[in-house]
Structure 1
Amino acid sequence: MLAAIATLLVFQCLGEGLSYLFSLPVPGPVIGMLLLAGYCALRPAAAIALEPTALELLRHLSLLFVPAGVGIMVSAHALRGDVLAVVLSVAVSTTLAIIVTALVMRAMLRGRRRVAHEHGDRA
């Protein structure tokens, strides 16, 4: 588990470094996650090794939102003039995330059916 956590942190640090080095508008953890996804695609054994630790972290993901929630409550006074913009951006981004997820899921199911049909399996 320690090696898997170290691997996750290395990719996050790589992402942070690239984001800082090239002044990218994308957060470092997002870049690190993309690098990790590419690494796991190239080395499936790495994905298998990371899976138990990743699932354990996901099980406790809600705890990671506590500091963010506290930060929002502490700086709520700074958001007073921008409440409409914040609410609108949350609503739009949530809607877009749901739409993109549905489209990706539909594409994956079509691909799965196509593969199953080619192999004579039932999906």
Structure 2
Amino acid sequence: MASFKGIKIKSLEDAKTAGKILLEKGVKNIIITLAEKGALIITESGAIHVPGYKVNPVDSVAAGDSFNGALAVGISNGKPLHEVVRFTNAVGALTVTKEGAIPSLPNLKEVQEFMEQNKEYV
């Protein structure tokens, strides 16, 4: 369980509340990761929940790093934020299925195949 400014993040509503605080401080795009529940995008236009992928986790050691790296790739490719977060969720999901940091990082082909096989999450 995480917390932000005294708000315990236990639900999507809690995450939205925390995100609104950041919006009020001038942050334009907020992405709150929610582990197996996916991620929440919060902007001035509202909030979008992007569900996570169901996997059997083995090791979460590089999940955040892989998510952030995938986020940078997606944004630099000019994709819409909700598509980028679906991609980052897939990268994070694949990462936790293997042990170790570097060995667990998937390549682009693995991510694309995983997303193709799990279209119900798109």
Superposition TM-score tier, normalisation by shorter sequence: under 0.3
TM-score, scaled to structure 1: 0.24
TM-score, scaled to structure 2: 0.24
> Quick check: which has more Rg, 1 or 2?
1
Higher relative contact order (CA 8 A, sep 6+): 2
Whose helix fraction is larger, Structure 1's or Structure 2's? 1
Whose strand fraction is larger, Structure 1's or Structure 2's? 2
